[in-house]
Structure 1
Amino acid sequence: MTSTDTTGQDAPRYVRLSIELIAEITDEGALKAAALQQVADDEYLDDDERAQSVEAIEVDPSGSLAHFIDPVALLGDVPGVELASATWESAQTEFDPEGEGWDEYTVEESAE
């Protein structure tokens, strides 16, 4: 099905968005503390989920970053769109800004 094909005017259409971000952790302690606070303040986590979240934060700083990803906020203000499902993960990766393929989407810091 292409974007111009329709199965009915009122039929829901689902779109899978794939987004890849590379984030540099510049202060692991600050990130960990903020993530632990985020987990402590999350009223929707049950005790088991909270324990798993704390363990993930303690083991790997990439686990900390995942607690700040909010797909609802990403699509919340888009008219005519409702979030149907969301999954995401964070993991350490190799990053070489000089390597092939990385420069295409690299955010350049401006010198002041």
Structure 2
Amino acid sequence: MTSTDITGEGEPRYVRLHIELVAEITDETALKAAALEQVKHDDYMDDDERAQAVEAIELDPSGSLAHFIDPLQLLGDVPGVELAQATWESAHTEFDPENEDWELYDTDAGSGDGATEE
């Protein structure tokens, strides 16, 4: 069965991509400074959004990473695809690559290759 069979020919088909990244912050000071610069020069933020972003960066510099995530860059120039909506957040997590509980792919959620069909 193809996605065309499910939605009908010619109808838009939406795909939700779940991407999980675990990043190690190796220099919190550098990340915080870069995020503050990013926010300072963001032409799409109004003054209230900018103030909230600066406050959030000051309170929890690990949230600074979110200011560098650009969903449009993830899709790049993929032919026939247009970004419809995107949300993302950053949060502290415990990570131990030696721990067997940390699976790169959740075998219950997909085929094990990171690709799932909705």
Please state how far the C-alpha of 1:3 moved relative to its aligned partner. Answer: 3.1
> TM-score, normalised to structure 1's length?
0.85
Answer yes or no: is 1:102 the counterpart of 2:69.
Answer: no
- How big is each residue's C-alpha offset from its partner over 1:53-108, in whole Å with a ceiling of 9 and x where there is no partner? 00111111221000000001111311100000000000010001111243647xxx
Q: RMSD of the TM alignment (CA)?
A: 1.8
- Aligned twin of 1:25: 25
Please state how far the C-alpha of 1:9 moved relative to its aligned partner. Answer: 2.1
SS in 2 for 1:67: helix
1:31 counterpart letter in structure 2? L
Alignment of 1:85-96 (within 5 A): 85-96=85-96
Instruction: List runs of 5+ in structure 2 lacking aligned partners.
Output: 106-118
Aligned residue pairs: how many? 105
d(CA) in 2 for partners of 1:90, 1:11: 34
Identity of aligned residues (%): 79
CA contact (8 A) 2:28 2:62 kept: no
SS in 2 for 1:5: helix
* Residues 1:76 and 1:94: Cα distance change in structure 2 (over 3 Å): same
Instruction: List runs of 5+ in structure 1 lacking aligned partners.
Output: 106-112
- Aligned twin of 1:13: 13
